[in-house]
Amino acid sequence: MTNLGRVLLTGTTAGLALFVAVHWVRGHEQLTCVAGSVQARAEAVVPVALANRHLDARHILFGLGDGAVGGWSGLGDAVVADGRVWLQTTNVASNSYYGLVNGRYFQTSFLAYVPAGTRPSGTLITPPGEDVDRLWQRLAHRYPQGVMVEGYVKMRTLYTIAIARPPFSGLPVAAHTAFYYTQPMESASSAWVYLVGIAARLSPGGWWVNTRMLRRLVPQAQMRGTDGLADVLRLRARPVNTDSPPTTDTVSAVGQLVGRSTVARGRLRIYPIRRVAECPDTFVR
């Protein structure tokens, strides 16, 4: 074999090895799933592709966004944990209006989630006294490509708010807050919550992030900064086991976590966003 042949063969072999290595990494990297989009939620529309589809919470490790159990008329802020979706129903015709609802099967216009069976890459001990805005800035700075987190946190001061009318009327939520948020903000001191959140900003590079898909997880205004989204399950008492998800007898309410809330202590499990995709296995067939 000539020297040129050896060079070509070596280069081809190296290139093939690199392709195989990259393909293996992509096939085995941690996956973040999205159904619908945060833009659909903001615009108060239900994506056509999701109008008649249900998700099975048993296929979800944890997630946040919106959800409806028993029909779109109850669509509200939602947290998925322990194989169940939790929300405060927005169905004004229901006797349980604005009450806590949970179930295995649900509909959504936007849900960001981590599939069942995923292991965290690490944990974060939350500094005492830090407000949620600052915590999200630190997370987005540490993980510019995005990160999802979940875990139990004791809040020094807790402020939450939940949407009270279903966001599918076509009236953009930000421009009609008085229409959608008819219930007052709730506050508490020394309250325990199960927190699910996402912090992200548009990364200038990195093949592991699909920018178009990432934009479905984070509002445009937040893509330019280091903000995040967080929903919480408010708990009736301190969790007995912080390594186990919340159960039906421990949760009292669902809400969006307001940024000025401050942390007393807690531990969040970290799930970096490396690849965002739709996950058809989550849907009921």
Residue holding tokens 């949620």?
132
Give the DSSP H or E segment for 12: helix 3-28
Angle at 272 between CA 271 and CA 278, to 5 degrees: 85
pLDDT digits 0-9 by tens, 133-163: 899 889 988 988 889 999 999 999 999 999 9
pLDDT at 217: 75
88 close to 101: Cβ distance less than 8 angstroms: yes
pLDDT at 270: 97
- Write down the pTM of the prediction: 0.86
What is the C-alpha separation between 100 and 252, in angstroms, rounded?
7
CATH number of 3-282: 3.30.1330.80
What is the C-alpha separation between 33 and 51, in angstroms, rounded?
18
- Sign of the four-CA dihedral 68, 232, 82, 32: positive
Q: State yes or no: pLDDT of 83 exceeds 90.
A: yes
3-state class of 243 per DSSP?
coil
From first CA to last CA, the distance across the chain in angstroms is 57
At residue 10 the predicted structure's pLDDT band, cuts being 50, 70 and 90, is very low
Q: State yes or no: pLDDT of 46 exceeds 50.
A: yes
153 close to 263: Cβ distance less than 8 angstroms: yes
Q: What is the mean pLDDT of residues 76-89?
A: 96
Say which residue, 136 or 120, is predicted with more confidence.
Answer: 120
Average the pLDDT over each of 14-18, 44-48, 126-130 and give the range with the smallest value: 14-18
At residue 285 the predicted structure's pLDDT band, cuts being 50, 70 and 90, is confident
SS (H, E, C) 71-102: CHHHCEEEEEECCEEEEECCCCCCCCCCCEEE
What is the C-alpha separation between 208 and 26, in angstroms, rounded?
8
What is the C-alpha separation between 110 and 33, in angstroms, rounded?
11
How high does pLDDT run on average in the chain? 85
pLDDT digits 0-9 by tens, 195-235: 999 987 754 544 344 566 777 776 655 444 445 789 999 99
pLDDT at 145: 82
Identify the bridge partners of residue 144 per DSSP, sorted by sequence position: none
What is the C-alpha separation between 240 and 251, in angstroms, rounded?
13
Say which residue, 137 or 72, is predicted with more confidence.
Answer: 72
What is the C-alpha separation between 216 and 255, in angstroms, rounded?
21
Residue 117 Cα distances to 36, 108, 143, 223, angstroms: 22, 22, 22, 29
pLDDT at 211: 64
Average the pLDDT over each of 55-64, 180-189, 222-231 and give the range with the smallest value: 222-231
